[in-house]
Amino acid sequence: MAKFNKILLTGINGQVGHALYPKLQTLGEVFALDRGQLDLANPDAIREVVQRIKPDLITNPAAYTAVDKAESEPELAHAINGIAPGVFAEEAAKLGALLVHYSTDYVFDGKKTTAYIESDETNPLSVYGASKLAGEKAIQAVGAAHLIFRTSWVYGAYGKNFLRTILRLAAERDTLSIVADQFGAPTSSESIADATISALQQWETGKDGIYHLINSGKTSWLGFAKEILSQYESLQEVRKWPPLKIKSADVRSITTAEYPTQAHRPANSMMSAHKLEKTFNHTSNAWNQALSQVITTL
């Protein structure tokens, strides 16, 4: 089993960073940094931190994740998502360290009718997607040992995400309308952390590359919202949770065209996790099972 001496972790206050932190401690000594301790928009600060800590594993879940806001802040999004990963890769190469980085389904345009595989052509529709694709390319261009995990629709008990937003809105509002024509795989931050640890335990030279890391199955944002509310309803009495104003059956279906956003999103975000399963013998749960594990921890 691969063990590491020093592990640098960015984005400790983010969903994936928060889930990774305790699990990474099983692999080595973790140096976890928040934005105040390391600003990814500052390449010199990245170099200084890596050279000071001298990690043999860098895990970088920190990112500019405000998909719509990125349309009006392209330089900042590109600095954090496009440039910083390449700087980490350069510093990792100098130390002979492994870099673990996260990317997104939004590198694709969603026009494929089946699940995307890692070698499929990318064509981001948004500034965010383009900045994340630039980060992937910057890492690959350096040639340091790396694992890039593309994931999708991330949520968890901790952080800002769709699950928590739906529960809040269902408590506050009388009606809820959710987009029904974008399809993908909701993926829990815990599942991402588990798969990352599994891959790290089996890490060896030659396994570098991009991997799709998602919970299995497929749904729409509407299906995800209904499942959240239905699972909440089934636990509500036992857990003595407050009642919600909106029931799962009451959630209304709308189209992407009826819910315009600054950034365009792919209609098909489905990705195949076959490569990850084959290389690291790790299979993630079905998305609704992962959801039920998260909901019970709320």
Ligand X SMILES: NC(=O)c1ccc[n+]([C@@H]2O[C@H](COP(=O)([O-])OP(=O)(O)OC[C@H]3O[C@@H](n4cnc5c(N)ncnc54)[C@H](OP(=O)(O)O)[C@@H]3O)[C@@H](O)[C@H]2O)c1
Please give the residue ranges that form the binding site for ligand X (CB under 6 A).
10-11, 13-17, 34-35, 38-41, 61-65, 80, 102, 104, 132, 151-154, 159
Give CA 153 to chain center in angstroms.
Answer: 7
Give the nearer residue to ligand X in terms of CB position, either 64 or 232. 64
Q: Tokens for 141, please give them.
A: 């261009």
Strand 219-220 relative to strand 183-184, pairing: antiparallel
Burial letters 79-97, b for 16+ CB under 10 A, else e: bbbbbbbbbbbbbbeebeb
Least distance in Å: CB of 145 to ligand X?
19
Of 21, 102, 106, 128, the catalytic one is 128
The Cα–Cα gap between 235 and 147 comes to: 38
Nearer to ligand X, 27 or 193 (CB): 193
Closer of 169 and 206 to ligand X (Cβ): 169
Report yes or no: 46 and 40 within 8 Å, Cβ to Cβ.
yes
For tokens 């994936």, what's the residue?
A: 16
Shortest Cβ 285–ligand X spacing (Å): 17
Give the distance from CA 152 to its chain's centroid.
6
Q: How far is the CB of 297 from ligand X (least distance, A)?
A: 17
Q: Which is nearer to ligand X, 43 or 235 (CB)?
A: 43
**Cα separation of 40 and 45, whole Å?**
8
Q: Tell me if residue 116 is catalytic.
A: no
Nearest approach, Cβ of residue 258 and ligand X (Å): 22
Report the Cα 261 to chain-centroid distance in Å. 20
Q: How far is the CB of 107 from ligand X (least distance, A)?
A: 10
Tell me the β-bridge partners of 216. Answer: 286
Shorter beta-carbon distance to ligand X: residue 36 or 260: 36
Active site residues: 128
